[in-house]
Amino acid sequence: MLIDKGRTMKMPFKGLSLLDYSINATMALSHIILKKGDRAGMMTFSKKTENKIAAENKSGQLKKISEALYNIKTDFFESDFNRLYQDVKYSLNQRSLILLFTNFETLDGLNRQLKYLRGIAKNHLLVVVFFKNSELQTLIHKNPESTQEIYDEIIAEKFEFEKKLIIQELRKYGIYTVYTLPENLNIDVINKYLEIKARGIL
């Protein structure tokens, strides 16, 4: 599990940041991974990679991951995906399932990092986990009554369309995605892991 702690993860939803949701999901998923007999590990990144816990299935591994996740905070930097790619390349010698918790709002934002994601996906099974904006979802499914509400709905639909383009672009290069509301993150990443195991595609 790779957790982006750059500025895109500061966005708040219902009192928690996207980073907070990602930390909680990493703990929940690590518990399931270890129970299934697989090895769990993690690292965080923004300008550099930190909090590295090598993937193991030894006694005390969940405690190690929990301690690494404790007190992690977002910063105001733009995350360095090139540095992440280099560190993954030299840290992981065996083909692995990588869940990358990050957030892309636009296709341009993705395209700036796509070559590094493709680089990771050449040697590993990469799942990019990013987030639906629950406030935009509300606007999209609301019946607009005023001119302002119609305008808000059009803008919200434009952002949602952009997210679908991001998913399509990642799929072109064999990169899997989990696109979810923050409150559904735990169950959705666990289900993706279980699906990948069941299909034997790693």
Which residue, chain included where needed, has tokens 């129970």?
35
Residue 42, domain member (yes or no): yes
**Residue 155: its pLDDT value, please?**
66
168 lies in some domain: no
Please tell me the predicted confidence (pLDDT) of residue 77: 82
Q: To which H or E segment does residue 50 belong?
A: strand 49-56
> Within a domain: residue 113?
yes
Question: Is residue 73 in a domain?
Answer: yes
pLDDT band at 139 (very low <50, low <70, confident <90, very high): very low
Predicted confidence at residue 86, as pLDDT, reads 95
Residue 143: pLDDT above 90?
A: no
Tens of pLDDT, residues 149-182: 555 666 656 777 788 899 999 999 999 999 999 9
Neighbouring residues of 185: CB distance < 8 A, sequence distance ≥ 6: 21, 22, 24, 25, 129, 131, 178
Q: Nearest Cα to 112, choosing from 1, 2, 6? A: 6
User: What is the distance between the alpha carbons of residues 98 and 4, in angstroms, rounded to a whole number?
Assistant: 13
How far is 18 from 74, CA to CA, in rounded Å?
A: 9
Q: Number of folded domains in the chain?
A: 1
Q: List the beta bridge partners of residue 97.
A: 125
User: Which tokens sit at 85?
Assistant: 């790619």
DSSP-assigned letter for residue 97? E
148 belongs to a structural domain: no
Domain residues for the domain of 54 are 2-131+174-199
How confident is residue 137, by pLDDT bands cut at 50, 70 and 90?
A: low
Average pLDDT, the chain: 88
CA distance 155 to 114: 25
Asked whether residue 142 is assigned to any structural domain, the reply reads: no
pLDDT in tens, 22-81: 999 999 999 999 999 999 999 999 999 989 999 999 989 999 999 999 878 777 688 999
Per-residue pLDDT of 75-133, as tens digits, reads: 768 899 999 999 999 989 899 999 999 999 888 999 999 999 999 999 999 999 999 87
CATH number of the domain at 107, please: 3.40.50
